């Protein structure tokens, strides 16, 4: 078994510094036309030499930005791959890490404030493809897909009925675009919101992109019945794993980590959209929620777990 040492915090910090520098250079490029105009207005055109020079500078800087963003993309891929390898336990990899919890929280908090509207589809699709390609089985791929959308992608709002028209393979370029809620039964029905997913749409998407054999989107009821359901307080003795589901009446999420008597669940909730919630399987109570607006700590939430057979 391969043994790898990773300091996630340093990797992510380096990627962030590269992205910040790229943004500064991009802003400088956008200011060049104004600088050119200012110089020319002072009669210092010099036969348009500056125009040619500035064009060359723009091309050079744009190429630098492209290379920097590709490097940042690759670094975030490394972070995604190893954090998710550790959570989902990719076969043949033994990870000795520092800062895993802090990095996942950092990524979640970073994307929580990033606008989904107009997201860079090509960038994130490439990042997703690289990340998901590292997994060796359906359970791991599904878990990695769920984690990716929750922690490494612009924050997904909750969209009633979202993801139930079709299941896309990979990311949906229409996410974030204005769309009318047509599904009945919600206070948002008939209103326009950024297109996204609801709880079962999110879990269906993760399963589909992990290779689980489903023909189309599944409702919460469908997902409740895809495996053996057991009370959350018996999860430990029933060998619950990452990739299994957490369930309560009308709501479902995917378990992305099991650590002794604690499970970590990723879910798309009507309270704040994409959420990461931890629960104690001995008490059935929430121990931590990264979406602080949810106010769930110390309360009951998911009541059952569903063991998913990925060899269906």
pLDDT tens string, the chain, 312 residues long: the values are 455 555 666 666 666 666 666 666 666 666 666 766 666 666 655 555 555 555 666 677 677 766 666 666 666 666 665 555 555 444 555 555 555 666 677 667 766 666 788 888 988 898 888 888 877 789 988 988 998 898 888 889 999 999 999 889 999 999 999 999 999 999 999 999 999 999 999 999 999 999 998 888 999 999 999 999 999 999 888 889 989 999 999 999 999 888 889 999 999 999 989 999 999 999 999 999 998 888 899 999 999 999 999 876
Distance in angstroms (rounded) separating the CA atoms of residues 39 and 53? 13
DSSP state of 157: P
Other C-beta atoms closer than 10 Å to the C-beta of 243 total: 27
pLDDT of residue 43: 60
The Cα-based distances of 248 to 76, 169, 226 in angstroms read 33, 27, 15
Nearest to 153 by CA among 201, 98, 197: 197
DSSP state of 217: -
**Structural contact between residues 142 and 212, judged by C-beta atoms closer than 8 angstroms:** yes
What does the radius of gyration of the chain's CA atoms come to, in whole angstroms?
22
Distance in angstroms (rounded) separating the CA atoms of residues 265 and 287? 12
The Cα-based distances of 275 to 13, 35, 110, 122, 181 in angstroms read 23, 45, 13, 24, 21
pTM of the complete model: 0.75
pLDDT of residue 116: 82
């Amino acid at each position: 078994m391969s043994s790898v040492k990773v300091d996630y915090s340093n990797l992510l910090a380096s990627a962030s510094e590269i992205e910040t520098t790229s943004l500064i250079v991009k802003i400088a490029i956008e200011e060049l036309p104004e600088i050119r105009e200012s110089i020319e207005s002072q009669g210092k055109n010099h036969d348009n030499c500056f125009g040619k020079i500035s064009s060359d500078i723009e091309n050079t800087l744009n190429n630098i930005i492209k290379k920097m963003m590709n490097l940042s993309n690759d670094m975030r891929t490394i972070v995604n791959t190893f954090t998710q390898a550790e959570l989902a336990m990719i076969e043949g990899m033994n990870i000795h890490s520092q800062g895993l919890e802090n990095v996942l929280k950092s990524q979640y908090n970073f994307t929580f404030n990033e606008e989904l509207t107009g997201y860079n589809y090509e960038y994130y699709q490439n990042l997703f493809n690289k990340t998901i390609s590292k997994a060796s089985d359906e359970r791991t791929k599904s878990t990695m897909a769920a984690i990716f959308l929750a922690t490494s992608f612009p924050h997904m709002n909750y969209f009633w009925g979202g993801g139930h028209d079709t299941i896309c393979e990979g990311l949906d370029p229409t996410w974030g675009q204005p769309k009318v809620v047509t599904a009945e039964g919600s206070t948002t029905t008939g209103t326009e919101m950024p297109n996204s997913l609801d709880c079962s749409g999110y879990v269906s998407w993760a399963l589909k992109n992990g290779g689980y054999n489903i023909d189309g989107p599944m409702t919460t009821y469908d997902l409740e019945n895809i495996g053996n359901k057991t009370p959350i307080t018996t999860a430990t003795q029933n060998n619950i794993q990452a990739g299994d589901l957490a369930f309560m009446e009308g709501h479902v999420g995917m378990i992305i980590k099991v650590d002794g008597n604690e499970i970590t669940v990723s879910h798309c909730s009507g309270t704040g959209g994409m959420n990461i919630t931890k629960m104690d399987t001995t008490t059935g109570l929430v121990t931590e929620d990264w979406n602080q607006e949810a106010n769930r700590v110390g309360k009951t939430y998911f009541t059952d777990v569903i063991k998913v057979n990925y060899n269906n």
